Amino acid sequence: MAQSGREIKRRMTTIRSIQQITKAMEMVAASKLRQAQTKAQATRPYFARLQQSLARALAAAERVGEELPPIAQRRDGDRHCLIVVTSDRGLAGGYNANVLRKAAEFLEEHPETLLVVVGRKARDYFRRRNRDTLGEFINLGDTITTGQAHQIGQMIYDFYVHDLFDKATILYTRFINTVTHRVELRPVLPISDAYTGAAPGEEAGFDAVYYYEPSLSQVIDTVVPLLIDAAIFQSLMEAKASELGARMTAMRNASDNAGELIRELTLSFNRARQAAITKEIAEIVGGADALEMR
């Protein structure tokens, strides 16, 4: 009994230590999440306005019949490039698994897809499956910068211009709230039909006149790389907020599970101790009876 009791107490001590670690990790993730959430929400208006600006420019080019720069021209091919955004670290619940599952579905539908991976988890996943990648970006840290997004965007831009693929898509996790994150595919290239025609949000009947200097074609040629960088940066910010939210939730669940396990072990320890006390009492009573019988 004594050995069993020591074993239980040793397990309880170990689980309490783990619980302290998970609580600390939950607090760290919660602190970082507040900043990441604010930044992610702040990037949405800029990306939306950039889309509107490009939509106006493309609509104007269509009206006047001006030839678009090569980066903005449509392509009929079906060669894909997928940018997969995951985290560098684990302990984030199903965050990475959901992204990689979606990536596997995309690759099953488009087997010849070229890959660009962001995050150690995506890199290790595709390395284990002997999948080659165009580029790998790891250790971006908890503070995403526009320079990091530009580096990825420039590579996508160059490969697209040099005709390595016809379509580029970002696979990332959109931040909804602390416990809700949605894995989404965001088309980046070519400039889709969603960016042509009237700009979203304009009132019906209002036809503003815009003058583009030095030329409409040059403005579009400048805005498209900006849109690529903004799409990647905004996706990285959304993914980082989702990662921290998932990690905070996972650590909270781990702490709760540890507490439940400690309660169960405490009951087991008390039962074992009570059984030992009862056994000792029975032995004492039995010994006393044996002495009386003499």
pLDDT recorded at residue 293: 67
* Structure-token pair, residue 277: 């006390």
Q: Confidence band (pLDDT; 50, 70, 90) for 200?
A: very low
Instruction: Please give the pLDDT value at position 288.
Output: 67
In sequence order, which residues have a C-beta less than 8 Å from that of residue 232 and are 6 or more positions away?
83, 149, 152, 153, 156, 170, 188
Which residue from 132, 119, 128 is spatially nearest to 239, judged by alpha carbons?
A: 119
Tokens of 138: 């790891």
| Per-residue pLDDT tens digits for 81-110 | 999 999 988 888 888 999 999 999 999 998
Three-state DSSP state, 168: strand
pLDDT score for 170? 93
Higher pLDDT, 285 or 32: 32
DSSP conformation letters of 69-103:
PGGGS------EEEEEE--SS--STTHHHHHHHHH
Q: Residue 86 has what pLDDT?
A: 93
Strand partners, 15: none
**Average pLDDT estimate for 138-151:** 88
Confidence of residue 1 (pLDDT cuts 50, 70, 90): very low
> What pLDDT shows up at residue 194?
47
pLDDT in tens, 133-143: 888 999 888 88
**Residue with structure tokens 């059984």?**
275
Residue 43, both tokens: 């990037």
Reported as a single tens digit per residue, the pLDDT across 211-254 is: 777 777 778 878 888 888 888 999 999 999 999 999 998 999 98
**What local confidence, expressed as pLDDT, does residue 206 receive?**
53
- Looking at the domain that runs over 26-250, which CATH code has it been given? 3.40.1380.10
Q: List alpha helices for the chain, DSSP H.
A: 2-64, 95-109, 120-128, 146-161, 216-293
What is the mean predicted confidence (pLDDT) over 137-157? Answer: 89
Strand order in 80-85's β-sheet? 135-137, 114-118, 80-85, 167-175, 181-189
State which H helix or E strand residue 196 sits in.
none
Q: Is the pLDDT of residue 205 over 90?
A: no
Specify whether the CB–CB gap between 164 and 132 falls below 8 A.
Answer: no
Whether residue 29 has pLDDT greater than 60: yes
Indicate the range of 163-172, 194-203, 265-274, 279-288 predicted with least confidence. Answer: 194-203
Question: Average pLDDT of the chain?
Answer: 83
CB 40 within 8 A of CB 174: no
The pLDDT assigned to 187 comes to: 87
172: left (phi over 0), alpha (psi -120 to 50) or beta: beta
Read off the tokens for 28: 């760290």
Architecture of the structural domain at 2-21+252-293: Orthogonal Bundle (1.10)
Q: Kind of pairing, strands 80-85 and 114-118? A: parallel
pLDDT at position 85: 93
Would you say the pTM of this structure is higher than 0.75? yes
- C-beta separation of 81 from 165 below 8 A: yes
Q: Can you say whether residue 197 is alpha, beta or left, with left for phi > 0 and alpha for psi between -120 and 50 degrees?
A: left
The tens digit of pLDDT for each residue in 38-89 reads: 888 888 888 888 888 888 887 777 777 777 777 777 777 788 999 999 998 8
pLDDT reading at 149 higher than 50: yes
CA distance linking residue 9 with residue 18, whole number of Å? 14
Domain boundaries, the chain: 2-21+252-293, 26-250
